[in-house]
Amino acid sequence: MARFNYGGQALIEGVLMRGRDAIAVAVRHPDGDVVWEAERLSDSIVHRHRAAGWPFVRGLVVLYETLVIGTKWLARSAAISASGEGVELGGGSVAATLSLSLVFGIALFFVLPLLLTQAAASAAPSVGTLGKNLLEGLIRLAIFVAYLLLISRSGEIRRVFQYHGAEHMSIHALEHGDPLTPEHVCRYPTAHQRCGTEFLLVVVIVSILAFSLLAGQSLVAALLGRLVLIPVIVAVSYEVLRWGAKHRAHPVVRWIFLPGIWLQSITTRRPDDAMIEVAIVSLEEALRADGEPIPAGSIYPARRTMARADAESRAARQAAAREASLDAAGVPAPEPLRDPLHEELRQ
């Protein structure tokens, strides 16, 4: 069993796995094959610094990975998926979409709960500071759950949630020392105690306490203060989540974190075998990049690198373009080469 706690995230038709020294990404290409790529974490100055593993700092590193590395690969997986429909996503359009998503997220999960809480407090002036913070936290949680329920109705998002389940199940199999095969992986639940969904729930709870420091501030100061406190909340929440995962065998701790498991019933779905294979490829490549052994008896699904897939796609597009230009010019297509041996056999 690997000595490092592997984790990851779901992508568009794929899975990203974070290892000790590298991340590995596997995506189901539109042609049906699994394509993969690994990226050394040491390539980033954030991970080269020895403080990256310190308590309360490592949570900020995870935040960086999610916002920068995870978002980059989410966009890359979307581009690979769209290539099957003849659509090419440029860097500008991807950046614009991600920027708008970030603004939308801040407005939905920070500005709106604050405005609703202040409106409620104006209608009921007797509500104290703790009551306001608790109300804001409950509103933020309600918006978060409602948002997840709403997007889960989309067929595309449902598939992402299936890959999320495949990611968790394959990690369960690794942590129990089982071979990485669909038959073994499918025995495990889709929920996991180190899930990002559970992390977000912890963030909401910690934010109730952190935002109490901003009591009595103006609307602008309260909003800016909340944005400034986000790194602090993330750092504390990550340590709380790690502690909860380490002591999950204790019944009281398990009961405390049970709502996070419940919430994963929205963000994860049972995957099919093809999705599990993608998760296995991602995990195996992360293990290989870390120099860790792959569990005995594991399968090795067919795969090719993303660089090779990109080169083959470019060659196919160039060939199609040449053929189209010849057709437009009225030049007959060259006859296929004949194999004398096959001609003789046909006669």
pLDDT digits (tens, 9 = 90+) for 61-119: 888 887 788 888 998 999 898 886 655 555 566 667 667 877 888 888 888 998 999 88
What is the structure's pLDDT at 336?
55
What is the structure's pLDDT at 29?
95
Average pLDDT, the chain: 87
- What stretches of the chain show up as alpha helix (H) in DSSP? 45-48, 58-64, 71-83, 91-106, 112-123, 129-151, 155-175, 182-185, 196-210, 219-246, 251-256, 258-267, 273-290, 306-329, 340-346
What ranges do the domains of the chain cover? 7-307
> In b/e form, how buried is each residue of 249-274, taking b as 16+ CB within 10 angstroms?
eeeebeeebeebbebbeebbbebeee
What is the structure's pLDDT at 57?
92
What is the structure's pLDDT at 346?
44
Q: How open is the CA angle 82-144-275, to the nearest 5 degrees?
A: 40
Is pLDDT larger for residue 332 or for residue 198? 198
Q: 24: Cβ–Cβ under 8 A, 6 or more apart, which residues? A: 16, 17, 36, 37, 38, 39, 282, 283, 284, 285, 286, 288, 289
Q: Once rounded to an integer, what is the mean pLDDT over residues 237-243? A: 94
What is the structure's pLDDT at 151?
94
What is the structure's pLDDT at 193?
92
Strands 34-40 and 303-305, sheet pairing:
parallel
**C-alpha–C-alpha distance, residues 166 and 143, integer Å:** 26
Give 256-309 pLDDT, tens digit per residue. 999 999 999 999 999 999 999 999 999 999 999 999 999 999 999 999 999 999
